[in-house]
């Protein structure tokens, strides 16, 4: 009989506030902050500081360990576009917590995402150097833009979504015309990789940032219908000659404006304007964010006039000092006219202040809603797994919120479960956290040293204590109920690598790098004047070793103690007399972890040489040596009362073994970095793992049985699918085989899902063809005489052959439809074309039918025109599809005209017409600015006259009122 096992599956992930691979982003309302949490997206309620929702891919996804690499929220709805490391993009509705659609197109990680102004179109860039335009409403890819020679780092829509600006590590900025799908301008000038690009909401200025010491600014040239061009702001329209603009290059969209010197030498990581366009945040790859204020037109003009005035004064003083009166008039004529100054970049962008954080900043995001008495609210994600929000004022920035209690600041180095499995203790470099493993909530946080090992003290459950062994050689006794460290014991002269409880629950044993193994016992002390007892420990025995102690393990009957040393051996001693019993030789590198089975028969050791060794504890013989992991084995545990073993390693995998048959039962992938530690419940019903990615994951045992042979076949299939995906990836192709620069290609990508969808369509076509033959035979028999009632194929779900094929085609995701149809053979494509005529009666499927027809005609054009049987089908489709498309177009036109009519009726009934209040506000501001300019001009003229009189008479005039 074949033996079956119970499967362990991922159940929960907690401890991650903000991972490092992606950016953070506010939603359109400003109430929620979206942060990457490895493969998930955490939705944080900003005011409450709690995680209200988690957007997680389904457990059935092919690669659950793929990280989130880009996040952008829609400007007009609750939709969020999330890019992943496998090149896929998922559109989430975070208000419902559901994934609306999945878009597959990139062959590398998604590095940049940007919505257009109304949220109907999405642009994405990836490590495959490609840019893809997506139709969010139609849930499909439009086309792929190729031209960059390195990773795309940022994207930007301009001119109401008609143009797209992209930056890349190839040191170039490209401007793409979306309507004609070509690159219309290439902007050079940077000496290193360009990391970010952004524009203000009014699209006046575009700023780019790289590792250069300055920020580069460009003005946006907007071309009118007659071929003329205007710059993005009215002050520059006045300052630049009209003939020069009208005669400018019609392909020029970005015109160089100037540079501003940055205050820090680190490279630029992200540039973003706030929603009103009054502030610019320049985040560098360090601990600072430079905040620039954008001055309006009137302030910019005043600043330019002051600059020119100071320049004139310096010039005059210099001339007067040198006594060169002959050339004075000539030099004055060469200066700018103060009445109409030329605006430079320093007149518009002014450094407000520099925001400094205690840790390295990973990402920033402006809140779309401003707080009272502040210029903006800025959120920062830090590399220590925390989020901070700052209120930016005119003078300084103040921190308003810090989300940090829900996770560790560094790696999770050890885990231990309480005897009743109700509490979980985790340690890191500066804190100990107590969790509820069922709800995944953090219950307590206690400051401590660098904890390398830990354990709960068994005994009275109403007054729980825990022990933590630190890197400084101390044992910290923690009172779990009060969340305090009640005592710190100077235990060892080196780091305490291991701690293990005695089976009789009277004490514990510690092993340290100071070559000592110490036995401790628990003691209860009463404070004077208090009736409460307090736990303390005392050293009762010490055993000297010849090398550093890395791990210790005690047999369940308290007969043996196993000590792993730095010399790659494991020495076993008798607990009562501390006499030597056995030495386990065989590992080539030090043993990092080990465990003894519940019956005391087996001991398993894991080493830095990537091997697991299973030994018999009676004679010390090695039963089996298994190459278990692709990197060091970090922890190993026996399931209680069994010979099943769990192991974790630096290769990020959790593996399940049978120590009797030496078979690999299960491999579970989930963590994104090295796994340091493992904790197993007393009943073996769940496992908890801690990792370098700062996450803690729980894996639950299910009631689903599995067999070893099935798991082997599954692993082989995954390897085969990985080979298919790798073969379709052109990243490793020679450069001469890559697409030429400026090419436009299909947006889709062949995946395992598209191949499966193709197989399902072929299967549906074959089943429908067989059903049609059965119906024809039944009709012939019915014409001859009486026959039994026709029984349709039960697999067709009561649908007609045509409707069944339509159902199979409709089930294909819109984004995968093109790649699915491309894989169809010509014979099946011809069958599919024959069904299109019947489907046209369904008006709801008109768009789908047209897409299928266009893809099949483009793919099999030459074969179709040379096949006589296809000509009648094509001639019928020509007339029918044209009529159906015209009906859809007329319906859309009628609906648009009706909405315009309703808008006019509402405008006639209301006193407030449909008009943009912003234009009126700008007109008022421009009038006020002109008045202020006239006043400043008159003041400057008076001062000038006074100076002239003073110079001519040789003395100052005194004015008496």
Cα end-to-end distance, the chain, whole Å: 117
Cβ neighbors of 864 (< 8 A, separation 6 or more) are: 830, 857, 870, 874
Q: With the CA atoms of 583, 588, 593 and 594 taken in that order, what torsion angle do they form, in degrees rounded to the nearest 10? A: -40
CA 738 to the chain's CA centroid: 28
Does the fold of domain 547-706 match that of domain 410-544? yes
Total residue length of the chain: 961
Contact between 63 and 774 (Cβ < 8 Å): no
Domain positions in the chain: 262-305+344-407, 410-544, 547-706, 753-888
Q: What is each CA distance from 898 to 118, 893, 908, 911, in whole angstroms?
A: 21, 9, 15, 21
State whether the Cα torsion 920-926-931-932 is positive or negative.
Answer: positive
* Residue from 227, 231, 251, 247 nearest 239 by CA: 231
* Long-range CB contacts (within 8 A, 24+) of 726-729: 728/107, 729/107
What is the CB-side half-sphere exposure of residue 621 using CA atoms within 13 A? 3
Fold of 547-706: Methylamine Dehydrogenase; Chain H (2.130.10)
Q: At what angle do helices 871-909 and 826-839 cross, to 10 degrees?
A: 50
User: In CATH, what number does 410-544 get?
Assistant: 2.130.10.10
Q: What are the φ/ψ torsions at residue 813 (nearest 5 degrees)? A: -60, 140
What is the CB-side half-sphere exposure of residue 281 using CA atoms within 13 A? 28
pLDDT value of residue 63: 58
pLDDT value of residue 785: 73
* Residue from 358, 363, 394, 395 nearest 378 by CA: 363
Tokens 């491999």 correspond to what residue?
A: 667
* Residue from 320, 324, 325, 402 nearest 358 by CA: 402
The pair of structure tokens assigned to 232 is 């993005």
In whole angstroms, what is the distance from residue 177 CA to residue 740 CA? 18
In whole angstroms, what is the distance from residue 789 CA to residue 791 CA? 6
pLDDT value of residue 904: 85
Element (H, E) at 612: strand 611-616
Q: What are the φ/ψ torsions at residue 475 (nearest 5 degrees)? A: -110, 120
Output helix, strand, coil percentages for the chain, rounded to the nearest 5: 25, 40, 35
pLDDT value of residue 944: 64
The pair of structure tokens assigned to 221 is 């040239």
Strand 130-135 with 5-14, pairing:
unpaired
Q: ∠ CA(416), CA(417), CA(420), 5° rounding?
A: 160
What is the CB-side half-sphere exposure of residue 13 using CA atoms within 13 A? 27
DSSP assignment string, 621-674: -EEEEEE--SS-EEEEEEPTTSSEEEEEETTSEEEEEETTTTEEEEEEE--SS-
* Residue from 579, 578, 582 nearest 564 by CA: 582
pLDDT value of residue 242: 43
pLDDT value of residue 189: 87
pLDDT value of residue 121: 93
Global confidence as pTM:
0.83
CA 500 to the chain's CA centroid: 39
Task: Give per-residue pLDDT as tens, 292-348.
Answer: 999 888 888 888 888 888 888 888 777 777 765 554 444 444 445 556 678 888 889
* Residue from 880, 871, 774 nearest 830 by CA: 871
In whole angstroms, what is the distance from residue 70 CA to residue 313 CA? 52
Q: ∠ CA(143), CA(146), CA(150), 5° rounding?
A: 135
Cβ neighbors of 35 (< 8 A, separation 6 or more) are: 17, 18, 24, 41, 42, 44, 71, 381, 387
For the chain, which residues score pLDDT lower than 70?
1, 59-65, 223-249, 323-340, 460-463, 527-531, 721-743, 786-787, 910-922, 933, 936-937, 939-940, 943-961
């Amino acid at each position: 009989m074949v033996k079956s096992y119970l499967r362990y599956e991922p159940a929960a992930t907690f401890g991650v506030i903000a991972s490092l691979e992606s950016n953070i982003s506010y939603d359109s309302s400003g109430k929620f902050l979206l942060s990457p949490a490895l493969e998930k997206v955490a939705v944080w309620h900003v005011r409450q500081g709690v995680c209200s929702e988690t957007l997680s891919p389904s457990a059935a996804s092919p690669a659950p360990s793929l990280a989130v690499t880009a996040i952008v929220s829609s400007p007009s709805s609750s939709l969020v576009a999330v890019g992943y490391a496998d090149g896929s993009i998922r559109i989430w509705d975070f208000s419902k917590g559901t994934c609306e659609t999945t878009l597959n197109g990139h062959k590398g990680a998604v590095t940049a995402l940007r919505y257009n102004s109304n949220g109907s179109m999405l642009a994405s860039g990836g490590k495959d150097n490609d840019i893809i335009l997506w139709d969010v409403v139609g849930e499909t890819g439009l086309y792929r833009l190729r031209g960059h020679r390195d990773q795309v780092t940022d994207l930007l829509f301009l001119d109401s979504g008609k143009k797209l600006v992209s930056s890349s590590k190839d040191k170039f900025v490209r401007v793409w015309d979306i309507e004609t799908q070509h690159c219309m301008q290439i902007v050079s000038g940077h000496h290193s990789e360009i990391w970010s690009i952004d524009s203000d909401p009014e699209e006046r200025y575009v700023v780019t940032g790289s590792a250069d010491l300055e920020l580069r600014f460009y003005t946006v040239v907007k071309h009118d219908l007659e071929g003329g061009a205007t710059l993005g702001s009215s002050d520059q329209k006045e300052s630049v000659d009209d003939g020069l603009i009208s005669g400018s290059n019609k392909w020029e969209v970005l015109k160089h404006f100037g540079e501003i010197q940055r205050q820090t030498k680190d490279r630029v990581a992200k540039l973003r304007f706030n929603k009103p366009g009054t502030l610019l945040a320049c985040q560098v790859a360090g601990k600072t964010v430079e905040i620039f204020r954008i001055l309006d037109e009137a302030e910019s003009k005043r600043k330019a006039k002051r600059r020119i005035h100071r320049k004139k004064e310096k010039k005059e003083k210099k001339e007067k000092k040198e006594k060169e009166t002959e050339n004075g008039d000539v030099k004055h004529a060469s200066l700018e006219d103060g009445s109409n100054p030329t605006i430079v970049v320093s007149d518009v962008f002014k450094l407000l202040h520099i925001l400094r954080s205690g840790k390295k900043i990973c990402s920033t995001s402006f809140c779309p809603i401003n707080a009272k008495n502040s210029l903006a609210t800025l959120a920062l994600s830090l590399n220590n797994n925390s989020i901070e929000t700052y209120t930016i004022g005119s003078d300084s920035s103040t921190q308003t919120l810090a989300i940090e209690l829900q996770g560790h600041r560094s790696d999770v180095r050890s885990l231990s479960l309480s005897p009743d499995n109700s509490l979980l203790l985790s340690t890191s470099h500066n804190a100990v956290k107590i969790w509820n493993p069922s709800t995944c909530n953090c219950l307590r946080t206690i400051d401590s040293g660098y904890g390398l090992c830990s354990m709960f003290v068994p005994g009275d459950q109403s007054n729980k204590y825990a022990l933590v062994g630190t890197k400084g050689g101390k044992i910290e006794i923690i009172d779990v109920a009060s969340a305090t460290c009640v005592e710190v014991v100077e235990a060892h002269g080196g780091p305490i690598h291991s701690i293990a409880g005695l089976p009789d629950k009277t004490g514990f044993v510690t092993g340290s790098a100071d070559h000592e193994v110490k036995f401790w016992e628990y003691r209860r002390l009463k404070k004077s004047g208090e009736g409460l007892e307090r736990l303390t420990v005392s050293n009762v025995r010490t055993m000297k070793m010849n090398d550093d102690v890395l791990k210790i393990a005690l047999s369940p009957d308290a007969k043996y103690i196993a000590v792993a040393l730095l010399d790659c051996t494991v020495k076993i001693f008798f607990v009562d007399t501390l006499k030597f019993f056995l030495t386990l030789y065989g590992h080539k590198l030090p043993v990092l972890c080990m465990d003894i089975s519940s019956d005391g028969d087996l001991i398993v050791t894991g080493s830095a040489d990537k091997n697991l060794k299973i030994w018999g504890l009676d004679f010390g013989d090695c039963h089996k040596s298994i190459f278990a992991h692709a990197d060091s084995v970090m922890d190993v545990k026996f399931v209680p009362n069994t010979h099943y073993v769990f192991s974790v390693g630096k290769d990020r995998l959790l593996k399940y073994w049978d120590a009797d048959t030496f078979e690999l039962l299960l491999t579970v992938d989930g963590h994104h970095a090295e796994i340091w530690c493992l904790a197993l419940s007393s009943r073996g019903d769940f496992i908890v793992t801690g990792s370098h990615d700062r996450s803690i994951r729980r894996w639950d045992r299910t009631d689903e049985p599995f067999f070893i042979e099935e798991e082997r076949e599954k692993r082989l299939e995954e390897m085969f699918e990985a080979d298919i995906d790798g073969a379709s990836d052109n990243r490793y192709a020679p450069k001469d085989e890559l697409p030429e620069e400026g090419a436009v290609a299909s947006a889709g990508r062949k995946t395992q899902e598209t191949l499966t969808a193709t197989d399902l369509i072929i299967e549906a076509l074959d089943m429908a063809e067989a059903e049609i033959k059965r119906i024809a035979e039944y009709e012939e028999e019915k014409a001859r005489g009486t026959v039994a009632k026709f029984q349709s194929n039960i697999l067709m779900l009561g649908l007609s052959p045509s409707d069944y094929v339509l159902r199979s085609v409709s089930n294909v995701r819109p984004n995968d439809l093109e790649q699915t149809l491309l894989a169809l053979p010509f014979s099946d494509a011809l069958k599919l074309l024959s069904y299109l005529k019947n489907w046209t009666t369904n008006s709801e499927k008109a768009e789908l039918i047209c897409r299928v027809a266009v893809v099949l005609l483009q793919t099999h054009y030459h074969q179709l025109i040379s096949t006589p049987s296809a000509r009648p089908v094509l001639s019928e489709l020509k007339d029918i599809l044209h009529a159906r498309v015209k009906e859809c177009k007329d319906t859309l036109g009628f609906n648009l005209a009706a909405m315009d009519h309703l808008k006019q009726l509402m405008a006639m009934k209301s006193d407030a017409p449909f008009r943009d209040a912003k234009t009126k506000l700008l007109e008022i501001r421009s009038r006020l600015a002109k008045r202020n300019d006239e006043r400043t001009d008159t003041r400057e003229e008076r001062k000038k006259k006074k100076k002239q009189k003073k110079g001519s008479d040789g003395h100052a005039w005194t004015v008496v009122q």
